[in-house]
Amino acid sequence: MKFKTPIKLAWLRFTSCSGCQLMFVNCESSLAALAKIVVLDTFPLVSSASSMNEPVDITLVEGSVSTPSEIERLLSIRRKSRLLVAIGACALTGGVNTLVKGERSMSLAEIYGDQGADWDTFSPQPVHHFVKVDGQIPGCPPERHELLESIGAILQGGWRGHQVMPVCMECRSNENRCLLTEDHAPCLGPVTAAGCNALCPGLGVPCEGCRGEVSESNRDELLNLLIEAGLSEQEIRHRLERFGEAPYGQADR
C-alpha cells in the first residue's frame, strides 16, 4: 500500500491507561521529524484537529472494547481508515482490564452504587474481536522505537514484522544473569515475545509478560520452573494472566 506524505494519523482510545498514546508524545526528540511526515487528525489527547468524516491513512487503536458505544466508534473509524493498527496489551489481548472476575454488574454496583448497575458495559475484549486489524504493536506500554519503526515501515509500504523470539534470547545476547534459573524469581521471559531488549530482567526485575505470549512457547516447562521457584498454583495463574488470558499470542497475527 502506497502513502503520500504527509499522512493523516488518527488515534482512538478505548478502555486503557493512555500509556500507548503517551508513548507517542514521549518520542520527544523524534516529534519534529515526525511533524514533517505526519498530520494529526482525530487524536484527542494531543490535538484539537478533527475533520470528522474525512478518510485517514492510519488509525492506531489503543485499549480494549467494553461498551456498545466503543464498538460504534471502532466501526466508524475502521470505515474511514486505510490501515488500522492495534497497539498495546489492552487492544491485543484485553490487558489488565480482563482481571475483573465474576459478574460485572456486581463490581459496578460495588464501586459506583446503584447507578453503576445500569451501566451498559461488557467484559473487555481485544480489538480484533470486532474489526479487521492490519497490524499489532505489543507491550504495556510498547517501546518508543516500536511505534516509530511501525510508522516508518508503513510509509515504505510494508510492516515491521512480528517477533518470533522470547525475551530470554535478548537476555542471552545481553549476557544478563538468569533470574529464573539462578535466582528462582518468577520471570516470564521464556514465554514472552521479545522486542523490549529484555528491559526489566536486564535491571534485575523479573519479566511480567507485558508483551504477550511468544509463538511456540514452552509453557509446560515454565510452569515446572515456577513451581520449583516456590510459587503456588494460584500465584502462577495470577502472574500468567496479568495482561489478558488466552488467546495471548495474538501478537503473532
Partner 1 sequence: MARLIVDPLTRVEGHGRVELLLEGDRLHDVKVRLLESPRLFETLVVGRRYDEVPDLICRICAICSAVHKLTSLQALEKAMDVVVPPMAVTLRELLLLGGHIQSHALHLFCLILPDLRDSTDVVDLLRQEDSLAKGGLGLKALGNRIQQVAGGRIIHPINPVFGGVAYSPERSELEALAAELSNWRRDWPDFAKSFLQAGNYPESSRVLGNAVATGQADAFTLTGEHLWHEKTAAVPASDYASLLGERSREDSHAKDAAGEAGPFLTGALARARLAAGRGLPMTISEDNLGIHENNIAQLREIEWALQRAGQLLDLLLGADRAEPLQAQHKAPHAGVGTAAVEAPRGLLVHHYVVDEWGTVVAADIVTPTSINQRVMAAQIMADLADEQNHQRLMAVAERIVRAYDPCISCAVHLVPVAAS
Residue 144 beta carbon to partner 1: minimum distance, rounded to whole angstroms: 9
| Close Cβ partners of 60 (under 8 Å, ≥ 6 residues apart) | 9, 10, 11, 12, 20, 21, 24, 85, 86, 87, 137
Residue 19 beta carbon to partner 1: minimum distance, rounded to whole angstroms: 3
Residue closer to partner 1, measured from CB, 115 or 220: 115
What stretches of 50-191 show up as alpha helix (H) in DSSP?
A: 68-80, 89-93, 104-112, 114-117, 144-155, 167-173
Contact 74, 65 (CB under 8 A): yes
Residue 99 beta carbon to partner 1: minimum distance, rounded to whole angstroms: 5
Residue closer to partner 1, measured from CB, 235 or 252: 235
Residue closer to partner 1, measured from CB, 115 or 161: 115
Q: List residues near partner 1 by CB under 8 A.
A: 13-20, 22-23, 25-26, 28-29, 31-32, 34-36, 38-40, 43-50, 66-67, 70, 95-97, 99-101, 104, 107-108, 110-116, 119, 121, 140-141, 199-200, 203-205, 208, 210, 235, 238-239, 242
In degrees and rounded to multiples of 5, residue 181 shows phi and psi of -85, -30
Residue 208 beta carbon to partner 1: minimum distance, rounded to whole angstroms: 6
176-185 as b/e: b if 16+ CB within 10 A? beebbeeeeb
Residue closer to partner 1, measured from CB, 1 or 35: 35
Distance, CA of 140 to CA of 25 (rounded, Å): 16
Residue closer to partner 1, measured from CB, 100 or 169: 100
